[in-house]
Structure 1
């Protein structure tokens, strides 16, 4: 019998990488980072995650390549090896795949000593996947085994905060790029190039939430993980249980003789994905395709479609006790399309019921043809 192992697949620089799911602790959107002095190669900052200091690595920098622009949809995968945790910055988390020994090439792709952080390269579903050697990656951060300077970290993490003149001292590996703008100070307040106030608030709020230690949230049954999205300049939330992935909107092929809410089809890594506009059943004006840059791939039972949105603003975890019922006076004609409401940044936003929306007679999606 061929032994299979599950791998979390993610994308960096249009390349696909994989890490064993057994080593994945959690995934969250990029928060505000605190840069540190004399960081190991590739470490761009640290995060306080519920009282534990987490170093965060940019694999591009660790592999000797130029970093990409980060954005509000950039994600951090937290991996753990024993008692040591490391965050890896990724552009997009794709999916979980089961890989077998048969997927592994007969010949090694590269010499281990020249590529200590690559365990191998495999072919899966017409994709080439680079499998990360997590053991060596962790050692490069926490042990003095790699690099001439032997920069490494021990537990507890020896944080050295940056001085007030850090913007002038910043090295390329310590300059964070968010949305095309450089962040060069731990507080962001002294940066020579500032983020928008909205983006800065989002990053700081994410960091603040990660610092919080909530005993109630240790019980997964009491927690909902939600994505905050923008649709027609309004905020909504979506239960991440129904979300397969977030991705950018690529070339869309219109489908003849379809209702207006069917935007068209898109090739998503070899899969034909139908894109739909859910504004109609939410009593919103039709979506403006000129403002759409992202989509959410959602899955309910055997149905998988893409929801066109303006952008993903955030992901949050909330206690179910923080979710209120949909007011009787609200959404009188489509109340069934909402799971409830919650407070977010002084706004009351609705949680979409993706299952009810996709099963609506007003939103028929026929993928049989």
Structure 2
């Protein structure tokens, strides 16, 4: 039985999955520039480090109205063969491992998804009940006709030759920067002035060429919660995200060791870090509890989490700050610092220290 990893995401009110083999990166929604006479569903273009990236809204492609865009939306950059495409989504969820056998092609579409049956056939490969309905997306090149792909590539090449950037309006024509911003965001007509400033800042950063960016100063994190506190975990140490269905208690173990679970034939020990990080008693396992499988220097364990907020958060290490002194509920010795995530303080966990020096090892076995 062959398994693949799928990035799950929310679009409108439905849950979709895309094979991670197509996923290159994820970033927050920036300013997009629209062009007339584009294929249906393409909402604009963004300059991504000097390369023009077309962006698609699957709501439009599937035949129903697109909801209002928000600053919390993201763009997932996909690549299929030589074709690169951005996909706007409302929320990124966890990565799930699914077998082909679980993907049913007998689709029971909601009424809203029956607007354009041909688009459904081109875009949706099947459905998985796990336990929510997840619509599995086809490879991105199937979303557009060959003629539409050629048109998109032609427009991208034209913009590339014209030395396009997202803000090619001559700003010397006006001294009123706010008036200039109000002329933009055509794809996001309901954006406030403050929102448009944020969109512009994001786009300004994205179009910086690679040579001007120090990628060693960035780290990708998974963002999780424990008792309403936000924590970031280095994604390089995260093996996968799982739901906990059954745990067998282990006799004579410390309270933070919840027990063992069978993960596709592998016995995985499940631990609760609340006592270590928050000085709180461990909580019991309930149906639907989630865990992150972490591997550090050969040690593998499932770490119980509350919610998984983000699976590909790009952290600028230059923005890591000392833990605020006003926060005294966090055990600082197991944190590498703090940063802001959606205007809230997030603590960055020192996973190697937690696993190797936090007392999680019992008789050399977790």
**TM-score, normalisation: structure 2:** 0.57
Q: Distance in 1 between matches of 2:333 and 2:16?
A: 39
Q: Secondary structure at the match of 1:85?
A: strand
Aligned-pair distance for 1:50? Answer: 0.4
Q: Secondary structure at the match of 2:96?
A: strand
Q: 1:133 to 1:208 in 2, by over 3 A?
A: same
Aligned-pair distance for 1:22? Answer: 0.9
Of residues 179, 200, 203, the one that matches 2:196 is 200
Equivalent residue for 1:211? 207
Note the aligned Cα RMSD (angstroms).
5.6
Q: Secondary structure at the match of 2:21?
A: helix
Q: Distance in 1 between matches of 2:132 and 2:349?
A: 33
Q: Distance in 1 between matches of 2:153 and 2:84?
A: 11
Partner deviation per Cα, 1:128-159 (whole Å, 9 max, x = no partner): 2212122454534x6348xxxxx931246145
Contact preservation (8 Å) 1:19, 1:132: yes
Aligned-pair distance for 1:62? Answer: 0.9
Q: Distance in 1 between matches of 2:4 and 2:333?
A: 40
Which has the larger helix fraction?
Answer: 2
Partner deviation per Cα, 1:49-107 (whole Å, 9 max, x = no partner): 00111111111111111112322221111111122211111112222222223213375
Contact preservation (8 Å) 1:11, 1:90: yes
Of residues 353, 357, 368, the one that matches 2:349 is 353
Determine whether 1:143 maps to 2:147.
yes
Of residues 104, 107, 129, the one that matches 1:123 is 129
Equivalent residue for 1:132? 137
Equivalent residue for 1:279? none
Q: Distance in 1 between matches of 2:189 and 2:46?
A: 22
Q: Distance in 2 between matches of 1:131 and 1:343?
A: 33
Unpaired stretches in structure 1, ≥5 consecutive residues: 146-150, 165-183, 230-234, 246-257, 274-296, 360-369
Q: Secondary structure at the match of 1:115?
A: helix
Q: Distance in 2 between matches of 1:340 and 1:66?
A: 42
Q: 1:269 to 1:88 in 2, by over 3 A?
A: farther
Equivalent residue for 2:288? 270
Q: 1:261 to 1:55 in 2, by over 3 A?
A: farther
Aligned-pair distance for 1:358? Answer: 8.6
Q: Distance in 1 between matches of 2:68 and 2:353?
A: 34
Equivalent residue for 2:336? 339
Contact preservation (8 Å) 1:45, 1:56: yes
Q: How many residues align?
A: 291
Determine whether 1:224 maps to 2:219.
yes
Unpaired stretches in structure 2, ≥5 consecutive residues: 170-180, 225-229, 241-274, 356-366
